[in-house]
Structure formats: C-alpha cells, structure tokens
Amino acid sequence: MGLGSAAMNETARKMVAPGKGILAADESSGTIKKRFDTIGVESTEESRAFYRGLLFSADGAEDTIGGVIMFDETLRQSDADGIPFVQVLSDKGIVPGIKVDKGAKQIAGSSDETVTEGLDGLRERLAEYFKIGARFAKWRSVIQIGNEIPTWNGIKSDAHALARYAALCQEAGIVPIVEPEVLMNGNHNIERCYEVTRLTLQTTFDELFDAGVAFDSMVLKPNMVISGLDAESQASPEQIAEMSVSCFNEVVPASVPGIAFLSGGQTELEATANLNAMNAMEQEHPWELSFSYGRALQQSALAAWRGNPANRDAAQQAFLHRARMNGLARSGLWNPECENDSRLR
C-alpha cells in the first residue's frame, strides 16, 4: 500500500523545499560508462556503487538536496558498511527516488521524433520500488526542435505516455516527476524554444488532467526556455529567466508544488546562474523554482574523484560546493563571487 494523497503532497514539497533541489544520479549503465570514460575509470558495479555512495553520504548534502533520483541498480545497492543507499538517504532526510522509463525509441514512420517507452509492467515495478523504499519516480520524454519538428503527433504521444506513467505512480502512492524535455540541440532561437515548450507543457497538463493526475502531488521537471546550443546568439540569464517564468505562468497549474529544472547541455555555472536569475525576479509565481541537475551537480565531483578512493573527500567537497551554490540560487542569492568565498565552502 503506497502513500495517501496528503502524504504524496508532503513528499513532493519536501523534494523541492526552500533552498533545496534534487540530485539526478539516475544515469543508465551506458550513460555512466560515458561519464567514467572521461576520467579514465572503468565502469563496474563496484566503481558505480563507490561513486554514488560518496555523493549520497556527503556530510551536509541534506542541507541543499531534498531528493535523489536513482537507477534500478543503484536503488538496490548498499554502501561499504552494508547499509542500503535508500536508508543512507532516508536517514539524512533525503527522499529516495527511481527512474522508471525505458528510454526513447523512434516513433513509427519518423526518423526524427521519439516516444519514451516503459509502461508495460510499470504497475508491478512501482509496487516493488515502493517496498524497496522509493517514494518518487521519474519519467523523461524528449522533444527535439528541428526542421518541421516537433509534430503534433510527437508531442501528443509523449504527453500521453507521461500522463499514463504519472497516474500509475500516484495509484502506487509514489510522487511522479514529470519530465518533458525540449532539447537544447539545434540552432533555434529562444523564441522558438518558448513556443515549443509552451505547447509541450500545455499538451502534457491536458493529458495529466484527463488521466486524473493530482497536480498537487507531482513535480514538474522541464527545460528552461533557452537558446539552442548552436544558435547565432545566446540569451542572457535575465532573458532566460523572464521567458521561462512567463511561459510557466501561462501553462503550469498553481497547485503544482515545484518546478525542478533540468540542466540539459548547460555548464555547471550556467545552470546555477540561470536558476538564480529566475529566483531573483520580482515576478511572482505560485510554485518553488528548484533544480534537478545531473552533470551540473556532478561534473566537478567526477573530475576530483577520478576513480581514486583517496580522493573521496575532495570529490564530496566538490559536490557539496555545487549543491550549496544552487541552494543559494534557489533564493536568488548567488553571484559569481560566491564561487570563491571560503565562508561558503
């Protein structure tokens, strides 16, 4: 038996509590191998467990991390003392979560658009994950901007899958993170991103409503409204903030507890600066503007670790520093000088 509606609402709010965000440590085996390759570390079950464990056990992580998304393997692993990662996190007051989608596959008849799969058997998997200790889940859909895409069929297909997933989560008493990501890949300008993001979110919330999903017991994980990586000019943090908040004010219901932005292709500093700009705005909004970062919380930690157990403390400090910087950005209190302020380390 999962959590009731009141408990799910409480969990969702805990995940994006003021000053806190979510660590995305849900890289698949293939993705984490690519990350490890960049630092010359072999990806084994043991190395993956050691690395994730140093992040989860970092002293003080609970001050700025409200939840952690894990991969199936990680959810079942334990630290060096045999304590399950789920318990390590829960004992620190951090909500354990699980990635449940099976990845994006090409839509029939299209070479450019995808739909995320993983609905088959999801009800049973969610029941098992709840027993293990997961209290929220994540499902990522991918929307590509390009020549004549996205199509209505592409957006509709992913929105419908997200809604079915979210309804199954809440049936199981698990808070769904709904992640419709409009990719940064491309040369589109920020206005085109606004247009596609707005349509994607509107369609997604229409589908969520039709599926009976309770908006107050979910977390939205969207892209920021931002220029394409190959655009002729890049928008400033202030422009990104203004257009993102305006877009979400148009289409995101006020009852959603929080918007936890993904970092996409942004650098660590870009992700922090853009989040800070949103929270520094005078424009009001009803939801928490938070973060759910993967690389933008881990890149420095990976570089500090490099697979050497002796670098554990240095890697933890690198991770904690980025978490603290984004914690400041949650209140619009970050600036570049904070990065080198010894009082914040």
For the annotated catalytic residues, the residue numbers are 179, 221
- The closest of 216, 213, 205, 233 to 288, measured between CA atoms, is 216
CB atoms within 10 A of CB 125: 17
String of DSSP letters for 152-218: HHHHHHHHHHHHHHHHHHHHTT-EEEEEEEE---SS--HHHHHHHHHHHHHHHHHHHHHTT--GGG-
Q: Are strands 104-106 and 114-116 parallel, antiparallel or unpaired?
A: antiparallel
Query: What is the enclosing helix (H) or strand (E) of 143?
Result: strand 136-143
Query: How open is the CA angle 78-84-88, to the nearest 5 degrees?
Result: 110
Among 165, 167, 204, 166, smallest CA distance to 182 is for: 204
At how many degrees (to 10) do helices 190-210 and 237-251 cross? 30
Helices 295-305 + 29-37 axis angle, to 10: 50
Q: Which parts of the chain fold into alpha helices (H)? A: 5-15, 29-37, 45-56, 72-75, 85-91, 122-132, 152-171, 190-210, 237-251, 268-279, 295-305, 312-329
List beta partners, residue 99.
138
Q: How far is CA 288 from the centre of its chain?
A: 14
